[in-house]
Amino acid sequence: MQVASSEVVRDINRRVVLNLIRTKQPISRADLARVSGLQRSTISLIVEELIQEHWVLEGATGRLPRGRRPTFLHLNNDRVIIGVDIRPVQTTVALADVNGRFTSQEIMATPPDPKAAVSELIGRIQRLLNSCGKKKVEGVGISLPGRVERGSERLVFAPNLKWTEFDIRGPIEKATGLDVELENAANACVLAAVWFDHVQSRNLVVVTVSEGIGTGILVNGQLARGLSGMAGEFGHVPLDPKGPLCSCGSRGCWEVFASNRAALRYYLESSDSSGGLNFQDLIRLAEQGDSRAAEALETMAHYLGRGMRMIVAGLDPELIIVIGDLTRSWHRFGPVIQAEVQDQVLPGGVVPRLVPVHEDGLARLRGTVALVLQKHFGTGSEVLA
Ligand SMILES: [Zn+2]
């Protein structure tokens, strides 16, 4: 049996208090003691330390019928985080405060060469750093359309980005002096849902649908990463080994049938359009009454639902959060996906709630903020709500 040392206990208590201030701010010391169950003296010590380290500020004074007036505590917004969302086509670099509010955001085209991309990122991060003045930059969080190997933290699997195995973290840390955290985009969306949207479920799956399909899995309140960091690649499970070639090298993967690209392919196959369309164009055409566009989207929706059966049968989640441009047209997608999933729920199984999130890339970016802050706020591998 292992007994926790006093430092470990102090560290856990500190994280609990910091996280309570984050989720319940503004909050008084007395309420912190009441909610946490910790002694008033312990709370006072921890709060003093957090104020000295500039994590927490004292704000307004409350009013009580009698006795001392409590001072409310809140997080210090002068602690900031740089968030980077790398996507196959474009990359966003943004600055956020500890509460996940973005104060600046810029978009660049994603260079096809990872070396060029990293050097452009370094330039932009350094410019942001220079603009921060007295604010303290906590670190850089990066969301990637791929998987990062545990341990080495090298990008090892990013078929839609087409970057080969590459160290993104090392050069950025060296050039900026900041800590860099990398995470798969769908996992980043899980963190955003739990941290900033306060989704209470401990068993959920995020499905991101864009050029490919990503999934992030929360099981019993923990992010499932697997042995090598590859957990969640449902998008590359082949549904039809004779199907179209996938960017991963296999044939007939789920994402070949159910991604935005798949819908565009269905449309081009059924019409005499010469191409040059993007997914938003396709949604617009469907809304304008183009029946072939509507059919292409419907086919994509059927395949999305069929693929989600794997997730439902394998993980039994309470909810499935769907993120991507398709949520703008949820009246088309939602009912088809729901029916496909419902059709296949096993006896004794529960149909998960299907939740579309309209986000315009915000979930990934907020996830990068949570990723950086997790070190200070989390209690180990558990994702805190
Ligand atoms: Zn594949």
Contact call for residues 29 and 47 (beta carbons, < 8 A): yes
240: Cα separation from own chain's centroid: 29
Greater confidence (121 vs 385) lies with 121
pLDDT of residue 4: 66
Rg of the chain on CA atoms, in Å = 23
pLDDT of residue 234: 96
Which H or E run contains 284?
helix 279-287
* Beta strands at 71-75 and 56-61: parallel, antiparallel or unpaired: antiparallel
Please tell me the distance between residue 165's alpha carbon and the centre of ligand 1 in angstroms.
17
Please tell me the distance between residue 260's alpha carbon and the centre of ligand 1 in angstroms.
14
Q: Which two tokens stand for residue 186?
A: 């769908």
Greater confidence (185 vs 153) lies with 185
Nearest CA to 155 out of 169, 140, 145, 165 is that of 165
pLDDT of residue 288: 96
Encode pLDDT of 94-137 as tens digits.
Answer: 999 999 899 999 999 999 999 999 999 999 999 999 999 889 99
pLDDT of residue 3: 64
pLDDT of residue 2: 61
| H, E, C per residue of 170-239 | HHHHHHHCCCEEEEEHHHHHHHHHHHCCCCCCCCEEEEEECCCEEEEEEECCEECCCCCCCCCHHHHCEC
Contact call for residues 308 and 343 (beta carbons, < 8 A): no
pLDDT at residue 380 greater than cutoff 60: no
pLDDT at residue 357 greater than cutoff 70: yes
Please tell me the distance between residue 236's alpha carbon and the centre of ligand 1 in angstroms.
4
| Percent share of the chain, pLDDT over 70 | 95
26: cis peptide before it, omega within 30°? Answer: yes
3-state secondary structure of 382: strand
| AA letter at 3 | V
pLDDT at residue 381 greater than cutoff 50: no
Greater confidence (382 vs 138) lies with 138
Cβ neighbors of 19 (< 8 A, separation 6 or more) are 377, 378, 379, 384
Contact call for residues 59 and 72 (beta carbons, < 8 A): yes
* Residue matched to tokens 């469907």: 286
Please tell me the distance between residue 51's alpha carbon and the centre of ligand 1 in angstroms.
49
DSSP-assigned letter for residue 37: -
Encode pLDDT of 72-84 as tens digits.
Answer: 999 999 999 999 9
Please tell me the distance between residue 215's alpha carbon and the centre of ligand 1 in angstroms.
13
DSSP-assigned letter for residue 320: E
pTM for this model (two decimals):
0.89
Please tell me the distance between residue 162's alpha carbon and the centre of ligand 1 in angstroms.
13
- Give the pLDDT band of residue 64 (cuts 50, 70, 90): low
Please tell me the distance between residue 291's alpha carbon and the centre of ligand 1 in angstroms.
29
Please tell me the distance between residue 212's alpha carbon and the centre of ligand 1 in angstroms.
9
- Give the pLDDT band of residue 325 (cuts 50, 70, 90): very high
pLDDT of residue 208: 95
Greater confidence (311 vs 229) lies with 311
pLDDT at residue 274 greater than cutoff 80: no
pLDDT at residue 385 greater than cutoff 60: no
Please tell me the distance between residue 173's alpha carbon and the centre of ligand 1 in angstroms.
31
Buried b (16+ CB within 10 A) or exposed e, 252-266: bbbbbbbbbbbbbbb
**How many angstroms separate the CA atoms of 303 and 249, rounded?**
20
- Positions of E strands within 252-338: 319-324
Average pLDDT score, the chain: 90
pLDDT at residue 30 greater than cutoff 90: yes
Please tell me the distance between residue 241's alpha carbon and the centre of ligand 1 in angstroms.
11
pLDDT of residue 378: 67
Average pLDDT estimate for 305-317:
94
Average pLDDT estimate for 193-209:
91
pLDDT of residue 181: 94
Greater confidence (375 vs 283) lies with 283
pLDDT at residue 182 greater than cutoff 50: yes
